[in-house]
Structure 1
Amino acid sequence: MVFDFFGTLTDPSAEAGRMAAFAATAAVLGVDPGRFGEAMRGSFPQRVVGAYGSTRETLRAMARHCGTDPGESRLDRAVRIHHAGAERLRTPRPEALAVLGHLRDSGFRLGLLSDCASEVCEAWAETPFAARIDVPVFSWRKGRRKPDPLLYETVAGRLGVPPGECWFVGDGGSREHDGARRAGMRPVLVTNAGYPGAGRWRDDPDAYVPENRVDDLTGLIRLLRSRHDNG
């Protein structure tokens, strides 16, 4: 079972705090929060494939883009504030940890395939997800983003199964379901029906809509049970 991260395992409502988190970082860097937010959003395609390097080097590059060259002590503080904001944005959705535990207890090996920047990778070991995910694959580390076929091949290979034996569960950003389908995985859309406006931060939405759809992760358990009961 392979999961997307943001908006799938994380609480979709936490996304509403993204610009406030950027503003807090901007304040420490001494740059205009609006301009900094635009720089962060505009650089997403580059940041998630590691083009700027670490969080520290990314913030240095964003500050320079906004017309400021922060000193090292200011960068130290900005990195701490930025990581704290990023932690709030990856709050687990209410049912996520219990569902991951249920799936592991049921015999599934669990993978992660995330388009993410440096913040997630640097803090992954301290997240509550790390102990529950067997194989995390991050775009930032691979230098590629979904729907690149290599990412799907990589996560399946590290799980020790062919892609055709994997489910892929995500909320539909980055054309991830079409990538999963092309890789031979069985895609499941998490609609986040209980979270109005949750998809507004999703980048590169997927035109392909999977047949299998659930409103939240508890629906995934019902879907799997139904498939099992029906052979």
Structure 2
Amino acid sequence: MGVRAIVFDFFGTLTDPAAEAGRRESFTATAAALGVPADRFWQAMGASFPDRITGRYGDTRATLRRIARECGTDPAESDLDAAVRAQQAGAVLVRPPRPGVLDLLDRLRAAGYRLGLISDCSSELCEAWPETPYGPRIDAAVFSWQQGYRKPDLRLYEAVSARLGVPAAECWYVGDGGSREHDGARRAGMRPVLVTNAAYPDAAALRSDPDPYTPDLTIPDLDALPGLIET
């Protein structure tokens, strides 16, 4: 079957892969607001990642309160206010658009393709999504934090397919290969496409839970996607 919808991964696929290297630094101001050593805060955030991205820590404020307590601090409400602001500002720093990606999304929509998203993410992205430049360009966004499960759980792929109104067999899944996402897409019946991020040689080391499955469709950057679709 032909392609009617394209489902994207978010971090490292729609976002600038180079920005991911600044994630640890983006937590520094949050740790300071909570009165927690930066290294301890980074370790706690990393250890809690599987639970945070499936909603088990709650929203950003609840998450930061819990992380602070795990680090031995009970922050005042005013400190939490400052920490939430710092965390949200830090989250903006790690999600700038990949160069040219907003124009690409506009072109794909103008060409009649339905656009979807599946992201393993914590609360910050979900809370800010409508105000991001991506929000108005994506027809159906599915977030692990809201769904309660993460890639490669087939329910994520089923959810985005249903929201797009397009059968999985007519969806392509495009991502940089973290979280075993392509194997999940394949098992869900979608056509997976790997973005190798050839211009970002350090990006692969930053992927979470790399995918052992390599799709037969591979592109070095997202700007090659329209040509791949045409062929």
Scaled to the shorter chain, the TM-score interval is over 0.9
Which residue pairs with 1:214 in the alignment?
219
Which residue pairs with 2:60 in the alignment?
55
Matched, 1:138 2:143: yes
Matched, 1:29 2:44: no
C-alpha offsets along residues 116-166 of structure 1, whole Å, 9 cap, x if unaligned? 000000000110000100000000000010000111001001100111110
State the secondary structure of the residue aligned to 1:131: helix
Aligned residues: 226
1:82 and 1:199 mapped to 2: Cα distance? 25
State the secondary structure of the residue aligned to 1:173: coil
Matched, 1:154 2:159: yes
Identity of aligned residues (%): 64
Which residue pairs with 2:50 in the alignment?
45
Alignment equivalent of 1:193, drawn from 198, 212, 225: 198
- Please state how far the C-alpha of 1:101 moved relative to its aligned partner: 0.6
- Please state how far the C-alpha of 1:201 moved relative to its aligned partner: 2.5
Q: Structure 1: 5+ residue runs without aligned partners?
A: 227-231
1:71 and 1:22 mapped to 2: Cα distance? 19
Which residue pairs with 2:128 in the alignment?
123
Using the TM superposition, name which of 12-21 and 198-207 deviates more.
Answer: 198-207
Which residue pairs with 2:23 in the alignment?
18
1:126 and 1:222 mapped to 2: Cα distance? 30
Q: Which runs of 4+ in 1 moved over 6 A?
A: none
State the secondary structure of the residue aligned to 1:107: coil
Q: Which amino acid aligns with 1:123?
A: A
Q: Which amino acid aligns with 1:225?
A: E
1:182 and 1:24 mapped to 2: Cα distance? 41
2:131 and 2:96 mapped to 1: Cα distance? 12
Which residue pairs with 1:229 in the alignment?
none
Alignment equivalent of 2:210, drawn from 205, 213, 219: 205
TM-score, length-scaled by structure 2: 0.96
Aligned pairs for 1:54-133 (under 5 A) are 54-133=59-138
2:8 and 2:67 mapped to 1: Cα distance? 30
TM-score, length-scaled by structure 1: 0.96
Q: Which amino acid aligns with 2:128?
A: A
State the secondary structure of the residue aligned to 2:192: strand
1:220 and 1:95 mapped to 2: Cα distance? 12
State the secondary structure of the residue aligned to 1:136: strand
1:161 and 1:201 mapped to 2: Cα distance? 32
2:49 and 2:211 mapped to 1: Cα distance? 17
1:113 and 1:57 mapped to 2: Cα distance? 24
Over the residues paired in the alignment, what is the CA RMSD in angstroms? 0.7
State the secondary structure of the residue aligned to 1:188: strand
1:94 and 1:203 mapped to 2: Cα distance? 22
State the secondary structure of the residue aligned to 1:78: helix
Matched, 1:173 2:178: yes
